[in-house]
Amino acid sequence: MNTDIVKPENLVYSRTKVLTDATMHYCPGCGHGTTHRIVAEVIEELGIQDQTVGIAPVGCSVLAYNYFDVDFQEAAHGRAPALATAVKRLNPNLFVFTYQGDGDLAAIGTAETIHAANRGENITMVFVNNGIYGMTGGQMAPTTLVGMKSATTPYGRNVELNGYPLRLTEILATLPGTYFVTRQSVHTPAAVRKAKKAIKQAFENQKLKKGLSFVEIVSNCNSGWKMTPVQANKWMEENMFPNYPIGDIKVEGKLVEGIGLDRLVVSSPLTVK
Partner 1 sequence: MAKELKLMKGNEAIAQAMIASGCDGYFGYPITPQSEVMETLMAEKPWETTGMVVLQAESEVASINMVYGGAATGKKVATTSSSPGISLMQEGLTYLAGAEIPCLIINVMRGGPGLGTIQPSQSDYFQSTKGGGHGDYQLFTLAPASVQEMYDFVFEAWDIAYKYRNPVLILSDGAIGQCMEKLYTRDYVPRWTEEERRANAPWGTWGKPASRGHNIITSLELDSAKQEVFNHKLQAKYRVMEENECRYEEIMCDDAEYIFVAYGSSSRISMKAVQMAREKGIKAGLFRPITLYPFPKKALAERAKQVKGILTVEMSAGQMVEDVRLATECNVKVEHFGRFGGIIPTPTEVLEALENQIIKG
Q: Which stretch binds partner 1 (CB under 8 A): 48-56, 99-107, 221-229, 262-270?
A: 48-56
- The alpha carbon of 98 is separated from its chain's Cα centroid by a whole number of angstroms, namely 9
Q: Which of 32, 36, 37, 79: binder of partner 1 (CB under 8 A)?
A: 79
- The alpha carbon of 143 is separated from its chain's Cα centroid by a whole number of angstroms, namely 13
In DSSP terms, 71 is beta-bridged to 53
Instruction: Say whether residue 68 binds partner 1 (CB under 8 A).
Output: yes
Q: What residue type is assigned to position 126 of the chain?
A: V
Q: Residue 227: in which H helix or E strand, if any?
A: none
Minimal distance, residue 135 CB to partner 1, in Å: 11
- How far, in Å, CA of 192 to CA of 178, rounded? 23
- How far, in Å, CA of 43 to CA of 120, rounded? 22
The CA radius of gyration of the chain, in Å to the nearest whole number, is 18
Cβ-based burial of 255 (10 A; exposed 0-12, middle 13-18, buried ≥19): middle
Q: Which of residues 90-149 bind partner 1 (CB under 8 A)?
A: 90-91, 94, 111-112, 115
Minimal distance, residue 92 CB to partner 1, in Å: 9
Instruction: Say whether residue 20 binds partner 1 (CB under 8 A).
Output: yes
Q: Considering beta carbons, is residue 114 or 191 the nearer one to partner 1?
A: 114
Instruction: Say whether residue 202 binds partner 1 (CB under 8 A).
Output: no
Q: Which of 24, 33, 46, 66: binder of partner 1 (CB under 8 A)?
A: 66
Q: Which of 65, 97, 127, 133: binder of partner 1 (CB under 8 A)?
A: 65
- How far, in Å, CA of 103 to CA of 108, rounded? 7
Residues that bind partner 1 (CB under 8 A): 20, 49-53, 55-56, 62-63, 65-66, 68-76, 79, 82-87, 89-91, 94, 111-112, 115
